[in-house]
Every structure is written in C-alpha cells, then in structure tokens.
Amino acid sequence: MSADPVVHVIDDDESVRKSLDFLLRAAGFRTATYDSAGAFLQRLAEAAPGCVVTDVKMPEVSGVDLLKRLRALDVRMPVIVITGHADVPMAVEAMKSGAVDFLEKPFDDEVLIASVRTALAAAESTAEREAARHDLRSRIATLSRREREVLDGLVAGKPNKTIAWDLGISPRTVEIYRANVMTKMRAVSLSELVRMTMLAELADQPVGTDDLAG
C-alpha cells in the first residue's frame, strides 16, 4: 500500500502480543500493539491504515464486539481474528460480523503472514475504490440542478428528446447541458458517464446548485 500500512495487533496476553509483533516485524510489516480492543478503539482516530489482527476472546471488549463497533463506525479496516479451539464458535460469529479470516491456535507463521498480506491487499483495493468514488462524487457535486436532471435522464437511458420533454426545455438545450455534464465529469463517452455515475452511487448525492438558465 502507498500509505505505509500498519498491522494493528490486539491481544490481552502480553507474551502472545509480543510474539505476534516480533513475527510480523520480522516479515517486514509495520506494527502497532494494544493490550485490549478498548485501547485500540481509543486510538482509532489516529490509527494508520492497514489491518487488524486480534484475539477473539478478550475481557470487556471481545473480538466480536470490536468488529461490531468498527462496523457501526463504518471503519472498513480488514480484521483477522485468532482463536483457541474452544473459541471457534466465536470466530464463526466474528466472520459473520465482517472478519476477513480467522486462525485457530496453534497456526503456522506463514499462514498468518499470508493472511495479513491478503488483508492488506484488500484494504488497499478498498481505499482506492473509496478514493475514486469520492472523486466522482465531488465531480457530481459541481453539477447544477438542471445538469443533474439531465444526467439522471441519461443514466435512465432516455434520449435527448425525451429528456427535453420531461424537463420542458428544447432538445438543443439538453445537448448543451449534456456537453456541460460530460466536461465536468470528464467523461469521453455516454457509456463511461453512466459507469462513473453508477460507481459514485448517484442516489446518495446531494442535488447541485440551481441553474439560472434552467
């Protein structure tokens, strides 16, 4: 990842925490350690992007509780849970709550390293998609109200004449708005424009400013 990802290691057992930290650092990862899920949550705002490796069974805030809190906060950092044999049902619950993997003790070092690499790759992909979506949403936000209406019509597959009829304007005016939309969205074709709009989740976007000419 481009932002120097960190593997956040959470375990209330100091010896396990230090062992995981040493293993991951030896494999070339940057790490940060926490003695509880609560400690991690307290520092979440300043936590570097990356992934989480956490024990599933901990006092106060369990690994499952951590996942639920991260989901409630819309934090999409991948989480790998570690479990003892007796805690496998908890690990299954953790997977249902969004964990990307769970490892049962004792596990091979290479299994953990491979899981972390996969999690970090997923985190980078997610970050890139979110950045692209944010950029597209920013472009949509620059559209005027009338341009947005024309865009809605184009995404719905309507021809210019139908859009003109729906909006009570001339087809020529629709062409002008359409050209403006293409320019502001930096789209080179109608199909690209539609794809970009769908990626940006158009329904979640606020309506742009009123167009004085509309």
Is residue 214 a part of any domain in this protein? no
**The CATH number of the domain where 105 resides is what?**
3.40.50.2300
Structure tokens at 161: 């004449």
Q: Are residues 155 and 77 in the same domain?
A: no
Q: What is the pLDDT of residue 53?
A: 94
Count other Cβ atoms within 10 Å, centred on residue 18: 13
Is residue 213 a part of any domain in this protein? no
State which of 130, 159, 184 marks the end of a domain. 130
Q: Are residues 101 and 158 in the same domain?
A: no
Determine the structural domain holding residue 22 and report its residue range: 6-130
**The CATH number of the domain where 183 resides is what?**
1.10.10.10
Note the pTM of the prediction, 2 decimals. Answer: 0.64
Q: Are residues 121 and 154 in the same domain?
A: no
Q: What is the pLDDT of residue 208?
A: 42
State which of 71, 97, 130 marks the end of a domain. 130
Q: Are residues 107 and 187 in the same domain?
A: no
State which of 130, 163, 196 marks the end of a domain. 130
Nearest 5°: phi and psi at 110?
-65, -30
String of DSSP letters for the chain: -TT--EEEEE-S-HHHHHHHHHHHHHTT-EEEEESSHHHHHHTGGGPPSEEEEEES--SSS-HHHHHHHHHHTT----EEEEE-GGGHHHHHHHHHTT-SEEEESS--HHHHHHHHHHHHHHHHHHHHHHHHHHHHHHHHHTS-HHHHHHHHHHHTT--HHHHHHHHTS-HHHHHHHHHHHHHHHT-SSHHHHHHHHHHTTGGGSPP-PPPTT-
Residue-by-residue pLDDT tens, the chain, 214 positions: 445 789 999 999 899 999 999 999 999 999 999 999 999 999 998 888 899 999 888 888 888 889 999 888 888 889 999 887 767 777 778 888 888 888 888 888 998 999 999 888 887 777 667 777 788 889 999 999 999 999 999 888 889 999 999 999 999 999 999 999 999 999 888 878 887 887 776 434 333 444 444 4
Q: What is the pLDDT of residue 211?
A: 47
Q: Are residues 121 and 71 in the same domain?
A: yes
Is residue 209 a part of any domain in this protein? no
Q: What is the pLDDT of residue 43?
A: 92
Nearest 5°: phi and psi at 158?
-85, 140
Is residue 185 a part of any domain in this protein? yes
Q: Are residues 120 and 14 in the same domain?
A: yes
Is residue 20 a part of any domain in this protein? yes
Q: Are residues 22 and 76 in the same domain?
A: yes
